[in-house]
């Protein structure tokens, strides 16, 4: 890193690292920097900038129709099935945010092993294979996007059975990005309102709210795509625990979230 700076090449840091790494190495000198609020007091006042990077496409954060409560009397159990070609960022961010909220998340591979390679060739190790995961009941099953991965998930007979049972039992299910198309192919979007990635909206035969990042219709939750996965994940937290828990998790990640 020091050599990078000395040779005038680009370098950077995020979260606590500007205070914990850049400052001790003297790499903050002559620069305006920011960091996680917990460490902002450690920065020299003439260098610190209380700012973040936030891009908003002007979409509504979320829309809810046919409102129902998501009742549970235990720690929520969530299943996220994954396959080769699944979208890594959606997987990791979903798991991370839900676990921060004290939700038990099971990452299940539909491959013969727990190892999968995502859409950007990043390797991910699941908690278990789908057959082993199928013995349990889940409060929510979420299908991640990534066209190739979603199609592989669609071909998994064990997952098809789980999703069918999920809807018949009026338990929660959903998907993000490309996966609402897979839910449609399995007959799980009949009389439903959703959002989805713009590339597949014209293939959906149900009602689509294109202006919203997240749409919740009863026991179904859908998200628009990778850029909306934070809102998607926090919407799940809010449905399970209420706005306060979602706001607390968002604050810990320095993510702008509505006050009410």
**Residue 49, pLDDT score:** 53
Q: Is residue 231 part of a domain?
A: yes
CATH number at residue 80: 3.40.50.880
Q: Is residue 201 part of a domain?
A: yes
User: Which segments in the chain show pLDDT lower than 70?
Assistant: 29-31, 40, 43-59
Q: Is residue 56 part of a domain?
A: no
Q: Which residues contact 74 (CB under 8 A, 6 or more apart)?
A: none
Is the Cβ–Cβ distance between 106 and 170 less than 8 Å? Answer: no
Q: Is residue 88 part of a domain?
A: yes
| Residues 38 and 67 occupy one common structural domain | no
| Residues 8 and 70 occupy one common structural domain | no
| Residues 18 and 115 occupy one common structural domain | no
Q: Is residue 221 part of a domain?
A: yes
Q: Is residue 58 part of a domain?
A: no
pLDDT in tens, 1-19: 777 777 777 777 777 788 7
| Residues 99 and 7 occupy one common structural domain | no
**Residue 50, pLDDT score:** 53
| Residues 103 and 192 occupy one common structural domain | yes
Look at the pTM and tell me if it is higher than 0.85. Answer: no
What's the length of the chain?
Answer: 260
**Residue 23, pLDDT score:** 74
**Residue 151, pLDDT score:** 95
Distance CA 72, CA 259 (A): 25
**Domain encompassing residue 28:** 2-42
As for how many domains the chain has, the answer is 2
Q: Is residue 257 part of a domain?
A: no
Token representation of residue 192: 């439903």
**Residue 51, pLDDT score:** 53
| Residues 33 and 69 occupy one common structural domain | no
**Residue 24, pLDDT score:** 81
**Residue 6, pLDDT score:** 73
Distance CA 181, CA 177 (A): 9
**Residue 56, pLDDT score:** 39
Q: Which residue has tokens 């994940």? A: 233
| Residues 117 and 229 occupy one common structural domain | yes
| Residues 68 and 129 occupy one common structural domain | yes
Q: Is residue 53 part of a domain?
A: no
| Residues 153 and 223 occupy one common structural domain | yes
Residue 218 CA, chain-centre distance (Å), reads 20
Q: Which residue has tokens 């496409």? A: 57
| Residues 18 and 87 occupy one common structural domain | no
| Residues 133 and 34 occupy one common structural domain | no
| Residues 133 and 218 occupy one common structural domain | yes
């Amino acid at each position: 890193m020091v050599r990078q700076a000395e040779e005038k090449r680009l370098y950077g840091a995020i979260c606590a690292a500007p205070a914990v790494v850049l400052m001790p190495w003297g790499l903050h000198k002559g620069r305006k920097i920011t960091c996680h609020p917990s460490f902002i007091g450690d920065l020299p006042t003439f260098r610190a900038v209380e700012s973040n990077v936030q891009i908003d496409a002007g979409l509504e954060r979320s829309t809810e129709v046919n409102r129902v409560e998501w009742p549970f009397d235990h720690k929520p159990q969530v299943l996220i099935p994954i396959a080769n070609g699944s979208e890594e960022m959606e997987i990791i961010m979903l798991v991370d945010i839900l676990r921060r909220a004290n939700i038990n998340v099971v990452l299940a591979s539909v491959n013969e092993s727990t190892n999968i390679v995502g859409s950007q060739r990043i390797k991910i190790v699941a908690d278990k294979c789908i057959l082993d995961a199928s013995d349990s009941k889940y409060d929510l099953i979420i299908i991640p996007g990534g066209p190739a991965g979603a199609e592989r998930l669609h071909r998994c007979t064990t997952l098809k059975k789980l999703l069918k049972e999920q809807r018949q039992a009026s338990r929660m299910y959903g998907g993000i990005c490309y996966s609402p198309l897979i839910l449609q192919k399995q007959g799980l979007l009949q009389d439903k309102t959703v959002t989805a990635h713009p590339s597949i909206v014209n293939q959906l035969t149900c009602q689509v709210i294109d202006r919203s990042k997240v749409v919740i219709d009863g026991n179904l939750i859908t998200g628009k795509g990778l850029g909306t996965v934070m809102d998607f994940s926090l919407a799940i937290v809010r449905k399970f625990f209420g706005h306060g828990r979602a706001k607390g998790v968002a604050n810990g990640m320095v993510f702008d979230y509505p006050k009410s």
